[in-house]
Chains A and B, each alone.
Chain A
Amino acid sequence: MRELNERTARLRKESFEAEPSISIERALLTTEFYKENEGKYSVPVMRALNFKNLCEKKTIYIGPGELIVGERGEFPKAVSTFPELNCHTAEDFEILDTRPMTHYRVKAGDRELYSEKVIPYWKGRTVRDKIFSNIPEEWMDLYQAGCFTEFMEQRAPGHTALDGAIYEEGLLEKKKKIATAIENLDWMNDPFAAEKREELRAMDIACDASILFAKRHADLAEEMAEAEKDEVRRGELLKIADVCRHVPAHAPRDFHEALQTYWFTHLGTITELNGWDAMSPGHLDIHLAPFYEKGTEEGTLTAEKAKELLSCFWIKVNNTPAPPKVGVTAAESGTYNDFTQINLGGVKADGSDGVSDVSYLILDVLDELQLLQPQVSVHISSKTPDRFLRHACRVMRRGSGYPSAFSSDAVIMEQLGMGKTIEDARTGGTSGCIETGSFGKEAYILHGYLNVPKILELTLNNGVDPLTGKKIGKTTGDPELFKSFSDLYQAFEEQLAYVVDTKIKTDNFIQRMFARYAPAPYLSANIAGCIESGKDYYDGGPRYNTDYIQCCGIGTTTDSLSVLKKHVFEEGAVSMKDLRNALKDDWEGHEELRQFLWNRTPFFGNDDDYADSIMQKVYGSLIDAIDGKNSPKGPTYHVNMLSTTCHIYFGKKLGATPNGRFAFTPESDGTSPSHGADRNGPTAVVKSLSKMDQLKSGGTLLNQRFLPSVLAGEGGLEKMAQLIRTYFTLGGHHIQFNVVDTETLRKAQKNPDDYRGLLVRVAGYSDYFVDLDEHHQEEIIARTAQENF
């Protein structure tokens, strides 16, 4: 880590050390507001007025030395709850406060206050209650068996990023556009004109709310300035007041205002609802570059000052841990990371290279601060200069897992395949972990993970979950009667179609629940298409709409099918009956067979066409089962190949698999090969992955772990950059690295206090190694380490 200036060092330390806590202020205000106003307004207007009430009354905070201002809670790392979506119980609070990992402190008395003021009102009224009272049994069976997860039962659909529009147009301009849209409503012909007017009115109120929120910060800053003895700080506070009076009402005039504009927009969206993956600034370097150029040319900004402002902004993002879940999942540890992602590099709307001085500055800030959030990705296009990629590799090589690398060209082509214009595709990128979307113009909603190996397990048990003995899948035939691999595969495809369709039917219902009961007028006002169409972000309002189902475990599935194909059907080395018995016994008493299958089968990740062609087949089946399926917004379902950390949960719901994997251990992550199955080095992994037609997906994820010695020196750096470039030339979407040796990770397990700052790549994000539970820790250690050849 380089030297930080005094301010940044102190703010960083405070942020790093601050304990995440629960803030019940939002819940109290919301409950009070709903009690008073229930039934008085249309749903969108009610949502907007509630948002405005929050902006008007919530405690605001300006910390010592801060330059960028605004917190979600009363102070850093205080996290709001969202009872109108799902209401924490007193027991949830107890668990969150006391669980050993990723805990959230609950202030004394808050639990009682919540029980008294919040919980009783929301009983039966939350969106979650509305959803779960209408869930069909077959969906519930598959869900409980771990065949898939459901994103929207805990948090609102969110997961988006902004384009450059907020830097070009203030909210007052936006309000004019809303007024015009209301004026232009076609009452004679449009049967939905009334609904649209309510939605547009709601957006208008939400814009006022955001301006009001900024103004309160301006007032507070002025008040603080008056009492401030230090001349320099007084000047800073007055500048903050000036900034907050100007933005977001008007378009920003300088670098400082640009950052504050984004931060107010970010805070607005995460106050309005608890959308998945918070909010992201998208191509921050491209958005900030004009302000940086102007400031440095006029002499009002220096690189040092820009870096300081960026660092202050960084710390703000780090101050917003993810809102904790409710229900049984509260007992499991998760991550504090709320997945805000900054894209660097890439291309501009006109196709020119997006790298600027600001891109390098942001990489430096990332490297110097070593914080959990925000995460950074570099987007490498054919136009990206090698020196930028090398600089990014230098940061990656330090081991924190940041930044990850994306192929800008692939991300653009994926979007063209989904029917976007070239400009909208170029201004798009990735958010969340690795998910592709058109920034500022699209709702690309995650619907949950799909446990593909579990579907194979159901196939091998004729629709019965062997872990519970319950029939939850489709009757696809007694596997011992299958005559050929294609019989088996056909059964697998039928089972897959059944599970996917069951999920989609209910997901479409859930989508409507959000559109009806939890519209997001503030978010909608910031996404192109919503004002024009008069429709909410959740109601198909944005210019583009995509629904992703994230498919997990393609490595485990491929390897297991490879075993079945080769050893059961082609060579007869083992009968289906014996294999099924071994799986039932979790390989106990069958170690020789397990070793034989594990060592003598072509596996995915070795550039071996036998296995890779099976992967292609499975991938094709996933596309067939999901792509273009209808949602209420049209044929919007698409495949995504992300697992985040769900491959660990799914593994716990999965018995032994034919590839030699033991029951309840993790599945393969993302689109990576199974742990230890790739034995021919990283180029073979990359080649295998490149046989997947990744451009048909909304994103893939490849984890590579390297021992530091492999990437040492300038030569090691070059080869890392070349590996990335080559993968992208071959059509790869994303690759990320953990550069850390096993010994260090073992030491960190033993002495967590000595390694509190050790960041490692988990999935599409990094996390503190010592904050991961033991399963996650072991999973990372188990990733094949590419050694020095």
Chain B
Amino acid sequence: MELSKNTEGVLFDIKRYSVHDGPGIRTTFFLKGCPLSCWWCHNPEGISPVPVLSWHRNRCIGCGRCIAVCPEGAWSESDGGMVRDASLCRGCRICEERCPTLAIDFADRKITLRELVKEAEKDIPFYDKSGGGVTFSGGEPFMQPEFLLSCLRALKEREISAAVDTSGCAPLDYLLEAAEYADLFLFDLKLADPREHKKYTGVSNGLILSNLVRLDEKIASLGRGGINIRIPLIPGINDSEETLKRLAGIAAELATLTGVNILPYHSIGKGKYRDLGREYKMEGILPPTEQEVERALAVFASRGIKAVKGG
């Protein structure tokens, strides 16, 4: 199949030598946009489907280039350094283009299918040696369903193994079609209780859970592929025995379960909230201790599931 230059998607990041998003050494493409807005999200710049400015203050040298080029006067200088009035920004991105230190970043990069496949192909020697491949993450990759499916088809044709890291919050048909091409789904589960789920992620989990069941059936019928359940472990939010038991129960029902990953919450994303000028709701919540992680793993073990810490 010829690769179209017209099929285009939007990424907010690409990571090579990604070693926690599926088996082996992988390249992960982060597709922009997400229907959820989880409190603990460590990629908040990927939530909005449109470009949003992140200002990495630690890189800023106060050269004033942004002030000089901004047609809206959104940037100015005060005693303490640069100041930005977000309400004036119309998203022309000239400041991003001209900032010498890359301190201004709209985390939004258009990429064609052709470019993406070429990028993915760069690390084929590593995929071959390690049993790795490509992972689509986000955001929520199914927010760009046509693009995602085109990518998966193209990679499948080139015998590059692909995984999709999804919240499951997407129209079912897309998930089922993706199962035709992807070798693995990294399916995120956060909370079992619908109201809690709504509170912390912005959406209920009804669709997610029904999608999971249907996806499992589909993969089982295909006789290839599998589902890894990934659970962020967040003290005080989803680490109660009851919640974990219910999540383990959901996982235990799956016919194509290939593993469960417990991902201990970390606060590395905190700085990104500041850069985005957004409130960080997780203030004061500490990462789980080793014992807390062990306890969570034990809950799964008691259901006969071998969960592991980390990706």
Residues of chain A having any CB pair with chain B under 8 Å: 591-593, 595-596, 599-600, 607, 680-684, 686-687, 710, 713, 715-716, 718-719, 722-723, 725-726, 729-730, 786, 788-789
Contact = CB atoms under 8 A, between A and B. Distances in A.
Nearest to A715: B19
Contacts of A593: 100
27 contacts: A592-B100, A595-B61, A595-B63, A595-B100, A680-B16, A682-B17, A683-B16, A683-B122, A684-B122, A687-B123, A710-B19, A715-B19, A716-B19, A718-B130, A719-B19, A719-B24, A722-B25, A726-B25, A726-B126, A726-B130, A729-B125, A730-B125, A788-B19, A789-B16, A789-B18, A789-B20, A789-B28
A713 B308 CA distance: 12
B150 to A, nearest CB: 24
B162 to A, nearest CB: 17
B100 A600 contact: yes
Given A681-B16, A723-B17, A726-B25, 18 more contacts: A592-B100, A593-B100, A596-B100, A599-B100, A599-B101, A681-B15, A682-B17, A684-B16, A687-B123, A713-B310, A715-B19, A723-B126, A726-B126, A726-B128, A729-B129, A788-B19, A789-B20, A789-B28
Contacts of A719: 19, 24-25, 130
B102 interface: yes
Interface string B2-35: 0000000000000111111000110010000000
A591 B16 contact: no
Which of A716, A718, A730 is packed against the most chain B CB atoms within 10 Å?
A718
B65 interface: yes
Contacts of A713: 310
B100 A725 contact: no
Contacts of A786: 17
Contacts of A718: 130
Contact of B20 (A592, A599, A723, A788): A788
Nearest to B13: A789
Nearest to B101: A595
Nearest to A725: B129
Which 8 residue pairs are nearest across A and B when measured between Cβ atoms? Answer: A596-B100, A681-B17, A595-B100, A722-B130, A592-B63, A683-B17, A595-B101, A726-B129
Range for the number of chain B residues in contact with chain A:
20 to 34
Contact of B24 (A591, A722, A729): A722
Nearest to A729: B125
Nearest to B97: A600
Contacts of A723: 17, 25, 126
B259 to A, nearest CB: 12
Given A595-B61, A682-B17, A683-B25, A722 B129 contact: yes
A353 B101 CA distance: 51
A589 to B, nearest CB: 12
Interface string B158-196: 000000000000000000000000000000000000000
A730 B130 CA distance: 14
Interface string B112-140: 00000000001101101110000000000
B24 to A, nearest CB: 7
B163 to A, nearest CB: 15
A178 B19 CA distance: 60
A730 B129 CA distance: 11
Nearest to B18: A789
B165 to A, nearest CB: 13
A722 B63 CA distance: 44
A592 B15 contact: no
Contacts of B28: 789
Contacts of B310: 713
A788 B264 CA distance: 14
A729 B24 CA distance: 17
Contacts of A722: 24-25, 126, 129-130
Contact of B63 (A591, A715, A725): A591
Interface in B95-115: 100-102
Interface string B25-64: 1001000000000000000000000000000000001010
A686 B130 CA distance: 15
A705 B290 CA distance: 27
A683 B101 contact: no
Contacts of A596: 100
A598 to B, nearest CB: 8
